[in-house]
Amino acid sequence: MTTVVTSGVFPSTNPAISPVTGLGTADVRWGTSGSQSGYQFRGAAADVELDGTEFVVGTFVHRNVPTTVSPSQFDVMLTVNVMFEDGSTTDLTFSFHHNETPNTTGSSPVDDDLVDLQEFIHPQPVTIDGKQYRAVLSGFKRGGQIVRQFRSPEGGINFAEVVCMFTLDEPDVIISDLRYLGTAQGQADEYVEIFNQGGAPQDLTGWLVECKTTGYSFPFPAGTVIQPGQRYRVYTNEVHPEFGGFSFASTGQVWRDEGGIARLVAADGHVPDQYPYLDRGFNKTGMP
């Protein structure tokens, strides 16, 4: 574990936008005077595990008012300075893709501006205590969920924590979440979530997600690759493209409300991770 203190600036946009002020600072604005939108980055202090455990590297703020900027879509570069407890520092560079959507309806979500993580892996290794790690941004944390796209309603100051991790330069795929109590009809919105907490991509060809208790199994399509910091979800009977678009396509319940075990099975048959919950499937009923 190490302790870090962060700060950040927005050095540039690509392509260059106009009008713009505040480049090179933590508070960049664009649009006409008196009606400017923009980003702010607020640093943080955190105790950091060096094993792919996520931590809050800072807070992302979008001040969003109706404005005009040219072009309407652009990348905003962010440089995060990280100071370690021994006084050493490193700069991490990432970019956000901004879509200044037309304000045509005066309502949300149609007029919401969209911010996507464009580059989420710092290209150079980071040396900590003589060992090399990859720095990965895994997303925006809002309402307990970590997502790759930040949706920012018009006319407000909208916040999200930016989540980062230091990890080794190799894949490390785990089960990060299991929603076994659905609310939609037939519990169609249940899902199991897998997460690559490593610093390299993993080909999921031949991999399975299994519900050991009920016997349901989902094979990932050939050619599916999960990138560092990326999350995929397999829903019971819904399709969510932002999480890979995977579904068991089951009209029945996949995950027992009373308990069970989710397993991630690699192509060679070994189990990289499993996720027991509640009664772990003992005293189970309703086997298909």
- Between CA 48 and CA 162 the distance in angstroms is 14
From 160, 165, 191, select the one nearest 177 (Cα to Cα): 191
Q: What is the mean pLDDT of residues 261-272?
A: 97
Q: What is the mean pLDDT of residues 131-141?
A: 92
pLDDT confidence of residue 285: 59
**One domain, residues 59 and 196:** no
Instruction: Render pLDDT for 196-253 as a digit per residue (tens, 0 to 9).
Output: 999 999 999 999 999 988 999 999 999 999 999 999 999 999 999 999 999 999 998 9
What secondary structure letter does DSSP report for 246? E
Looking at 116, 147, 167, the residue that finishes a domain is 167
Q: Which domain holds residue 182?
A: 173-278
pLDDT confidence of residue 190: 97
Indicate the average pLDDT of the chain: 92
Looking at 146, 167, 188, the residue that finishes a domain is 167
Does any domain span residue 286? no
pLDDT at 32 over 50: yes
Instruction: Decide if 96 contacts 78 (C-beta within 8 A).
Output: yes
**One domain, residues 7 and 150:** yes
Domain count, the chain: 2
**One domain, residues 16 and 32:** yes
- Give the confidence band of 284 by pLDDT, cuts at 50, 70, 90: low
Give the 3-state secondary structure of 84-151: ECCCCEEEEEEEEEEECCCCCCCCCCCCCEEEEEEECECCCCEEECCEEEEEEEEEEEECCEEECEEE
pLDDT at 105 over 80: no
pLDDT at 118 over 80: no
Distance linking the first and last C-alpha atoms of the chain: 45
CATH of the domain at 238: 2.60.40.1260
- pLDDT > 70 in the chain, percent: 98
How do beta strands 149-152 and 156-167 pair? unpaired
pLDDT confidence of residue 288: 44
**One domain, residues 202 and 248:** yes
Does any domain span residue 12? yes
Q: Which pair of tokens denotes residue 218?
A: 């989902």
Does any domain span residue 123? yes
The type of residue at 284 is K
- Between CA 145 and CA 288 the distance in angstroms is 32
- Between CA 93 and CA 11 the distance in angstroms is 10
**One domain, residues 8 and 78:** yes
State the CB neighbour count (10 A cutoff) for residue 255.
25
Q: Is residue 71 reached through a cis peptide bond, with omega within 30 degrees of 0 on the bond before it?
A: yes
What's this model's pTM, rounded to 2 decimal places? 0.83
Looking at 139, 167, 195, the residue that finishes a domain is 167
- Between CA 195 and CA 243 the distance in angstroms is 11
**One domain, residues 136 and 240:** no
pLDDT at 126 over 50: yes
Instruction: Decide if 39 contacts 76 (C-beta within 8 A).
Output: yes
pLDDT at 287 over 70: no
Does any domain span residue 242? yes
Does any domain span residue 283? no
Does any domain span residue 130? yes
Does any domain span residue 288? no
| Residue 281 CB-half CA count within 13 A | 14
- Between CA 160 and CA 140 the distance in angstroms is 6
**One domain, residues 42 and 118:** yes
Instruction: Render pLDDT for 65-86 as a digit per residue (tens, 0 to 9).
Output: 888 899 999 999 999 999 999 8
**One domain, residues 216 and 162:** no
Does any domain span residue 199? yes
**One domain, residues 137 and 262:** no
**One domain, residues 12 and 66:** yes
Q: Which pair of tokens denotes residue 269?
A: 């048959």
**One domain, residues 157 and 204:** no
- Between CA 107 and CA 117 the distance in angstroms is 24
Q: What is the mean pLDDT of residues 4-24?
A: 97
Greatest mean pLDDT among 40-44, 141-145, 284-288 lies in 40-44
pLDDT at 286 over 70: no
Q: What is the mean pLDDT of residues 87-109?
A: 87
**One domain, residues 82 and 224:** no
